[in-house]
Amino acid sequence: MMSRDVVTGLGMAFLLGLFVWFLRSPQPVSSTLPEVVEVDFLAHYGTPLLDGNSDDAVWQNGEWLPLDQVWLGNPPAPGDFSGRYKIAWDENNLYLLAEITDDTLIDIHPDGLDRYWDDDCLEIFLDQDASGGNHQYNYNAFAYHIALDGKVVDIAPDSSYQYYNDHCITRRATAGNRSTWEVALKVFDGNRYVDGGENIPKMLKSGKIMGFALAYCDNDHSTERENFVGNVVVEGADKNRGWIDAGIFGQLGLQ
């Protein structure tokens, strides 16, 4: 009969050999790769003066991006509507420069909360954490409708239409058929946003990625808008989904 010390020694030798075999054996490689985020749009760092023109250095360096995807209506003639835009940012705001050619500017609803989408307006969609998903009656994302008078409207969680004028500062200059919009947009964490609460905008930094889309509602003296033109391709027959589904937004990267 072997002594307890011998048995213990054999056991330790076995464990040591097993450990050495484990170290020398090929180890499994994780199949989980880092998520690759494809950024559709880039915003360059810089602070413009909000005066409704494109003279600022950051706009001179930025690239024009097209506003040319028809979400509602028929493709408009270039003289009826055409649009392009640039994006910039600093620590406090996201900035948008939009150049819109529109032969008729219409604001036929004196109540800014009444059918505001059927007047001419610029619409900015923003999902600060690029999480996608439904945002119809919540602040998972915002859909800011900016009217010709600069008032800003979106849908609140109780399904009412509300002003969010403190979220966006807008300057618009119009010469002939061309309007230049400059917008300074505060970025809020919608998951923590509370109506009437102390909502502090997020500080922005290089590398941040957000969900973003831009569109324009065009009306030419009709009871409803004739065209709704956006900046991203929306698959399927129903392309007017940005006010509900943040999943159709593009990806905006700050650099």
Please state the domain extents for the chain.
Answer: 41-254
Give 17's pLDDT tier (boundaries 50, 70, 90): very low
Which one, of 179, 113, 178, 125, lies nearest residue 151 by Cα? Answer: 113
Q: 3-class SS at 112?
A: coil
CB burial class (10 A; 0-12, 13-18, 19+) of residue 102? buried
The CATH code of domain 41-254 reads 2.60.40.1190
| Terminal C-alpha separation, the chain | 75
pLDDT of residue 11 exceeding 90, the answer is no
| The model's pTM | 0.85
Give per-residue pLDDT as tens, 126-145.
Answer: 999 999 999 999 999 999 99
